[in-house]
């Protein structure tokens, strides 16, 4: 059974991968969705992907993609390896992987690469949904 720790370990192998819109290749280029796709595929958890999307979201397809392909979890049940759907503008358009209670990994355009950093109150306010890859066990 795959654990949240397995998800985090795989996500960390993507650290410092350059940001590239619609990228899907570790070490070469990836965006926030590409990171999620790469981690999920490496662990055999999902074939979920969305292609041909704009750099700045104009609709809620990312929300629908998460709802259709991941398992919704509520904040009291969050664990390392869970996925955060974030909104910076009108539509949710960013994804991050929770690495522990107060850090995330994501392909961050502002930093031009995959980074891991603390998640403060401002980041939590941007969170619009919380999910888990199907097949990841609930840790105790």
Determine the pLDDT at residue 54.
79
Tell me which residue of 128, 43, 51 sits closest to 83, measured CA to CA.
128
Residue 90: pLDDT band (50, 70, 90) is confident
Which sign, positive or negative, has the C-alpha torsion 106, 49, 133, 78? positive
Average pLDDT value for residue range 81-109: 92
- 138 secondary structure, DSSP code: P
Domains parsed from the chain with CATH numbers? 4-52+60-132 (3.90.1720.10)
Q: What is the enclosing helix (H) or strand (E) of 7?
A: helix 4-12
Query: Does the pLDDT of residue 85 top 80, yes or no?
Result: yes
Residue 140's pLDDT is: 59
pLDDT digits (tens, 9 = 90+) for 30-76: 999 999 999 999 999 988 888 888 787 777 888 888 999 999 999 88
Neighbours of 100 (CB within 10 A): 15
pLDDT interval class at 139 (50, 70, 90) = confident
pLDDT at 61: 81
């Amino acid at each position: 059974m795959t654990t949240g720790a397995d998800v985090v370990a795989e996500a960390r192998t993507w650290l410092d991968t350059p940001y590239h819109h619609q990228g899907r290749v570790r070490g070469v280029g990836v965006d926030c969705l590409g990171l999620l796709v790469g981690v999920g595929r490496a662990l055999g958890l999902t074939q979920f992907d969305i292609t041909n999307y704009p750099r700045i979201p104009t609709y809620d397809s990312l929300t629908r993609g998460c709802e259709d392909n991941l398992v919704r979890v509520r904040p009291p049940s969050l664990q390392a390896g869970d996925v955060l759907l974030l909104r910076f503008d009108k539509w949710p358009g960013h994804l991050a992987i929770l690495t522990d209670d107060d850090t995330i990994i994501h392909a961050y355009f502002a930093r031009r690469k995959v980074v891991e950093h603390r998640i403060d109150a401002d980041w939590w306010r941007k969170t619009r949904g919380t999910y888990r890859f199907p097949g990841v066990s609930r840790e105790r």
